[in-house]
Amino acid sequence: MDDCRIIELYNARDEEALSASAEKYGRYCYSVAQNILSDRQDCEECVNDTWFNAWNAIPPQQPRSLKLFFARITRNLSFNRFKASQRLKRGGGEICSVMEEIGEFLSDGTRVEDSLEEEILLQLIHVFLRSLPRRECDMFVRRYFYVDTTKILAVRYGMGEDAVLRSLSRTRQKLKRYLEEEGYTL
């Protein structure tokens, strides 16, 4: 079923939208969750919650890309569950490595961020990413949005794992340098 038809079902409050979503994007959303959560049950619950959240969001939201819309919801839900599990000292998957990497160029200070400052940061990140060669940008996105493991990235881009790590490290350093030059303190 194409995305337009699925959205129409959501708009019509037809519960077939949920089964259609699950059928088309269930495995995809599960993989998004799995990159963040190591527990299978947690992943399944997050995916199921994705459809519930989508049901509540559409309408009024009319996503242009249903796939990304679901991916973002699943990612958010999975990360919230991860944060909860961290408080309970339960183990995490690849997300732990990702958090450590992000921590390399961010301080964990108690500075209060306001929404305007975050908006500026987001704009800067967009400018930075769009200036990168495609592969470098894609790799950054796949690591810090999709939480792909370095092994998966190595296979995807035909590189060694060490090369992936080095490439990501350099991109992080470049981002940090760029943000500092733009006067954005982290």
Partner 1 sequence: MKRERFFELMNQLDDDLLLRADELEAKPVRKKNFYIVWGAVAACLCILALSSALILPGNSPQPPVDSSPTTSVIVNHTPVPLDHSAAFGQLSGSSLAYVKGSSTSLSSTSSSPPLYRFNSANFVVRVKAVDALPDEYYELDVSSEKSPTAYRLVVCDVLEVIHGELEISQFLFQISSYLYVDFTQYDSLIISLSHVGVSDYYVLRNKVQNRMESFSLPVFSSHNPQLGNVIAFSDGVLDETFWQNKGWRGGDFLSRGLKDMWNGDLVAYRGCSETETVEILQRCIATRIATTGEAYVPPVFLSADFEDEDARAALAYVKPFDNGVFSQSRRVNPKGNTELVFCRYANGCQTEETVIIDLVTEEVTYSEVRYTEEDFSSMEDLGFHIAKAADQYRQQIPTPPRVDPEGKNLRTLCLYGWYAKVDGKVYGVIKTVWVYEVFSDGGMTATRWYDDTYVLYDGAEGTATFIVREDLIALIGNRNIYRGEYNAAKLIPMC
List residues binding partner 1 (CB under 8 A): 64-65, 67-68, 71-72, 75-76, 79, 83, 98-99, 102-103, 106-109, 111, 113, 118, 121-122, 125-126, 128-139, 141-142, 144-146, 156-157, 159-160, 162-163, 166-167, 170, 173-174, 177-178, 186
Residue with smaller CB distance to partner 1, 1 or 96:
96
Nearest-approach distance from CB 35 to partner 1, in angstroms: 12
Three-state SS for the chain is CCHHHHHHHHHCCCCHHHHHHHHHHHHHHHHHHHHHCCCHHHHHHHHHHHHHHHHHHCCCCCCCCHHHHHHHHHHHHHHHHHHHHHHCCCCCCHHHHHHHHHHHHCCCCCCCCCHHHHHHHHHHHHHHHHHCCHHHHHHHHHHHCCCCCHHHHHHHHCCCHHHHHHHHHHHHHHHHHHHHHCCCCC
Residue with smaller CB distance to partner 1, 12 or 155:
155
Nearest-approach distance from CB 56 to partner 1, in angstroms: 17
Residue with smaller CB distance to partner 1, 14 or 103:
103
Nearest-approach distance from CB 27 to partner 1, in angstroms: 14
Nearest-approach distance from CB 59 to partner 1, in angstroms: 19
